[in-house]
Amino acid sequence: SGNVTKNSTKLEGDYKRRLPQAIIIGVKKCGTRALLEYLRLHPSIKATGPEPHFFDRYYHLGLEWYSLFHILLLFLCHIDGIIPLSACRQKMPKSSEGHITIEKTPRYFVTAEVPRRICSMSKSTKLILVVRDPVTRAISDFTQAVSKGEYNDTVTFGSKAVRKNGAVNAKWSAINIGLYAYHMRRWLDYFPTENVHIVDGEHLIRNPIHELNLVQDFLGLERKITSDSIYWNSTKGFPCIVKPHKTPRYRCFKSTKGRQHSYADDYTLNLLHNFYEPHNKMFYAMVKRNFRWRA
Ligand code: A3P
């Protein structure tokens, strides 16, 4: 029986180790993929490639499933065509003592049950939130939906964002996700502000190393991600990654990241800026930081 106890203790240890200590909870279209890929450059960070969607979609499968997610992924990668090769390339290596496991699922930020669920896994989970001007975010979201064929050519950003009676269509997810204060309040019911680190998505583009230093500090890690591994690619117009010992050596993000936005007319833009202004102010107060998005 001594053996059994020993084995089960070990198993329990392995299982706990695979649960993430930090989660990028959102926000969709604010730079969550770029942040995760940058963080992966740190030798002490192990990150999942695809979005696990555990706390929003697969919670009923239980924490053990979540911890085994990466192993499952490894297995599926051996069967051709089930998941895209790009996802397999990003599979998570086994994490070990001293490593931080991290995942990103932007849907978590706007799903009501998720803060409670993450809190019940561990109250000390570190949460990372990337934000940008909600108006820009909404256009980016719409651009993505159009590219996925969700709207036909006659649908414009303005025609979706503004109702026929002239009011902002706040129920439309592209608009609703940008009500940061509304969503943030639910997280602060479960986590103290010290557990939530906010990344300025615009700074992440213009000065990624600065934002990454702050994230590494927040995670309690040595600052090891340097300008040697992230460079500005003027063709892409965005930062890209250098991996000296890998082929390809230089890697920019896919064309779905950092793409040209759909047209948005001035009337709609103005209406949306005014619509978001009070919400943005509430968010600034909540997180004690002024992002100065256009009022
Ligand atoms: P746009 O395509 O609207 O410019 P997410 O990964 O959360 O979906 O966010 C996508 C956004 O990440 C992009 O939105 C882009 O602005 C931003 N981003 C930040 N750093 C980037 C990088 N190095 N390369 C490409 N996009 C980046």
Q: Write the DSSP assignment of 86-131 as a string of letters.
A: HHHHTPPPPP-TT-EEEEE-GGGGG-TTHHHHHHHH-TT-EEEEEE
Crossing angle of the two packed helices 63-76 and 2-18, in degrees rounded to 10: 80
pLDDT in tens, 197-217: 999 999 999 999 999 999 999
- Judged against a pLDDT cut of 70, whether residue 247 lies above it is answered with yes
For residue 158 and ligand 1, the question of a CB distance below 6 A is answered with no
ipTM of the complex: 0.99
For residue 29 and ligand 1, the question of a CB distance below 6 A is answered with yes
Average pLDDT of the chain?
A: 88
Report the CATH number that the domain containing residue 32 is assigned in CATH: 3.40.50.300
Residue nearest to atom 16 of ligand 1 (CA): 258
Residue 292 lies in a domain: no
Question: Between these two residues, 248 and 159, which has the higher pLDDT value?
Answer: 159
Identify the domain containing residue 172 by its residue range. 2-287
For residue 204 and ligand 1, the question of a CB distance below 6 A is answered with yes
Q: What pLDDT, on a 0 to 100 scale, did the predictor assign at position 64?
A: 84
Residue 294 lies in a domain: no
pLDDT in tens, 44-85: 998 888 899 999 999 998 888 888 775 566 556 555 445 554
Which atom of ligand 1 is nearest the CA belonging to 33? 6
Q: What pLDDT, on a 0 to 100 scale, did the predictor assign at position 48?
A: 83
Query: Is residue 92 within 8 Å of 46, Cβ to Cβ?
Result: yes
pLDDT in tens, 89-114: 443 445 555 789 899 999 999 999 99
Query: Is residue 37 within 8 Å of 230, Cβ to Cβ?
Result: no
Residue 125 lies in a domain: yes
Q: What pLDDT, on a 0 to 100 scale, did the predictor assign at position 243?
A: 87
Residue nearest to atom 11 of ligand 1 (CA): 31
For residue 186 and ligand 1, the question of a CB distance below 6 A is answered with no
Residue 295 lies in a domain: no
* DSSP H or E segment with residue 233: strand 230-233
Residue 266 lies in a domain: yes
CA 257 to ligand 1 centroid distance, Å: 5
CA 103 to ligand 1 centroid distance, Å: 17
Note the residue count of the chain: 295
Q: What pLDDT, on a 0 to 100 scale, did the predictor assign at position 1?
A: 35
Q: What pLDDT, on a 0 to 100 scale, did the predictor assign at position 246?
A: 83
CA 33 to ligand 1 centroid distance, Å: 7
Could you give the number of structural domains in the chain?
1
Q: Tell me the helix, strand and coil percentages in the chain, rounded to 5.
A: 45, 15, 40
Q: Which of 22, 284, 252 shows the shortest CA–CA distance to 134? A: 284
For residue 50 and ligand 1, the question of a CB distance below 6 A is answered with no
Q: What pLDDT, on a 0 to 100 scale, did the predictor assign at position 4?
A: 40
Residue nearest to atom 14 of ligand 1 (CA): 258
Q: Report residue 271's pLDDT band, with 50, 70 and 90 as the boundaries.
A: very high
Residue 237 lies in a domain: yes
CA 45 to ligand 1 centroid distance, Å: 21
Q: Which of 114, 137, 116 shows the shortest CA–CA distance to 32? A: 137
For residue 31 and ligand 1, the question of a CB distance below 6 A is answered with yes
pLDDT in tens, 151-180: 988 999 999 999 999 999 999 999 999 999
Residue 55 lies in a domain: yes
CA 209 to ligand 1 centroid distance, Å: 16
- Judged against a pLDDT cut of 50, whether residue 255 lies above it is answered with yes
Residue 191 lies in a domain: yes
Q: Which of 130, 103, 132 shows the shortest CA–CA distance to 118? A: 103
For residue 132 and ligand 1, the question of a CB distance below 6 A is answered with no
